[in-house]
Structure 1
Amino acid sequence: MKKELEHQFVSNLEKHQNIVHKICRMYTNDQDSHNDLFQEITIQLWKAYPKFRGDAKFSTWMYRVALNTAITLYRKSKRDIKTQNYDEVSFKIKAHDYDDETEQQLKLMYKAVKELNDIDKALVFLYLEDQSYRDISETLGITEVNARVKMNRIKKALKSIINP
C-alpha cells in the first residue's frame, strides 16, 4: 500500500511540478533559495499526501500546500529556516530543468509581482495559472467575491508598478 501511495504521489508531482517551480520563482530571488523551497514544498506535500482525500483536484490541493509552505517559510525569513534533508526521503523526483530564458518576457512582471504582499502574490499566481475564481477562493480560503475584488485591485497596482 505504501509503495502504491508513493507511486501515485511521485506521478502526480512529476506531472504538476511546474506549479511548484513557479511558486518558488515567485517567492525566491536566487537558484539556491529556489532549490531549497522546492525541496521543502516537496517534503511538505509528501507529509500531507496521506491526508489528500481527492475532494479537490490534485493540482488545487498542491497549490494550497505549496503556497502555504512558501508563505509560511518566507514570513519567517528573518529566522533560520530548518529543512529536512532531501536524501532522507525515499523517493526521487525527476526534476525538469527550469529554464529562465523561456520566460524572459515575464521578468518585468515577476519583478512587479514580488513587490506585492504574500497573499496577493498567491492570488496573482493562481490567476495566471488560469484558475477559476472559485478555485482561487477555495485554495486561498477567501470568498469568490473577495478574490475578484482583490484581483481587480492587484491589476491596478501592477499597472502602476510597471508603468509608474
Structure 2
Amino acid sequence: MSRDHDIDRDFAAWLAPHLPMLHRTARAFAEPSDQHDLLQELTVALWKARPHFRKQSAAGTFAHRVAHNAALTWRRGETRRRMRGVSIEAELLIRDAGDDPQGPLLERLYAAIRTLAPVERSLVLLSLDGVAYGEIGRMHGLTESNVGARLTRLRQRLSTQVKEDADGL
C-alpha cells in the first residue's frame, strides 16, 4: 500500500467525526445552491491545516476554528456568487427538503442563521455542535457568561425570525 493512500485514509478517519459540523457550517454560511461548494472548500482547508494540528486543543475545536475561518474567507467572495439565479436555489431547496417534514422548518432556521453577523453565526454553530461555553469563549476572546448571554439573545432572535417567516408563508 502506498504512503499517499495511508495519508488519505488517515485524513478520512480524522475528518469523519467533523463532517456533521462541516455540513452545518456550510448551511449556515451559504445559500442552498452554494453549500456543496463551501463544503468542499472547508474540507480542503482542513486537509491543508491538519499537518499543523499539534493537539494543543481538542480536534473538534481545531476543526471548528479552521472551518469557521475558511467559511468567513469564502463568504467575502459571495458577492460574485449572489448573481446566480434564484431558480437554482429554489430547485435545490425543494429537492433538499424532500420528504423530511422538518425540512422547511430547518431551512428557515438556516436562512435565519445566514442573516447573522459572522461572529454570531459562529457562536450559534458552535453551540449547536455542543461545544462548551468556556471553549467558545476562548475561541472568540469572550467570557463564558458573555457567550451564554449572547446565545440566549441569539436564540430568541432566531426563534422570532423563524416564527415570523412561518407565519408569512
| TM bin (shorter chain) | 0.7 to 0.9
* Separation in structure 2 between the aligned mates of residue 143 and residue 153 of structure 1, nearest angstrom: 16
* Separation in structure 2 between the aligned mates of residue 113 and residue 137 of structure 1, nearest angstrom: 19
Q: Which residue of the partner structure matches residue 15 of structure 1?
A: 17
* Separation in structure 1 between the aligned mates of residue 76 and residue 117 of structure 2, nearest angstrom: 10
Instruction: Name the SS of the counterpart of 2:57 in structure 1.
Output: coil
What is the deviation of 1:5?
Answer: 4.9
Q: Which residue of the partner structure matches residue 55 of structure 2?
A: 54
Q: Which residue of the partner structure matches residue 89 of structure 1?
A: none
Instruction: Name the SS of the counterpart of 1:78 in structure 2.
Output: helix
Alignment of 1:96-115 (within 5 A): 100-101=97-98, 102=100, 103-104=102-103, 105-115=105-115
Contact 1:20 1:66 in 2 (8 A): yes
Instruction: Name the SS of the counterpart of 2:78 in structure 1.
Output: coil
What is the deviation of 1:59?
Answer: 1.4
What is the deviation of 1:79?
Answer: 5.7
Instruction: Name the SS of the counterpart of 2:147 in structure 1.
Output: helix
Instruction: Name the SS of the counterpart of 1:130 in structure 2.
Output: coil
Q: Which residue of the partner structure matches residue 90 of structure 1?
A: none
Question: Percent identity of the aligned residues?
Answer: 30
Q: Which residue of the partner structure matches residue 68 of structure 1?
A: 69
Q: TM-score, normalised by structure 2?
A: 0.73
In proportion to residue count, which structure has more helix?
2
What is the deviation of 1:140?
Answer: 3.1
Question: Rg bigger for which structure?
Answer: 2
Structure 1 gap ranges (5+): 81-98
What is the deviation of 1:50?
Answer: 1.0
Is residue 46 of structure 2 the alignment partner of residue 45 of structure 1?
yes
Q: Which residue of the partner structure matches residue 116 of structure 1?
A: 116
* Separation in structure 2 between the aligned mates of residue 3 and residue 138 of structure 1, nearest angstrom: 36
Classify 1:30/1:162 alpha carbon distance in 2 versus 1 (closer, same or farther; 3 Å).
closer
Amino acid at match of 1:61: F
Classify 1:15/1:156 alpha carbon distance in 2 versus 1 (closer, same or farther; 3 Å).
closer
* Separation in structure 1 between the aligned mates of residue 138 and residue 63 of structure 2, nearest angstrom: 12
* Separation in structure 2 between the aligned mates of residue 21 and residue 160 of structure 1, nearest angstrom: 24
Q: TM-score, normalised by structure 1?
A: 0.75
Structure 2 gap ranges (5+): 82-95, 165-169
Is residue 12 of structure 2 the alignment partner of residue 27 of structure 1?
no
* Separation in structure 2 between the aligned mates of residue 130 and residue 5 of structure 1, nearest angstrom: 29
Is residue 156 of structure 2 the alignment partner of residue 156 of structure 1?
yes
Contact 1:61 1:139 in 2 (8 A): no
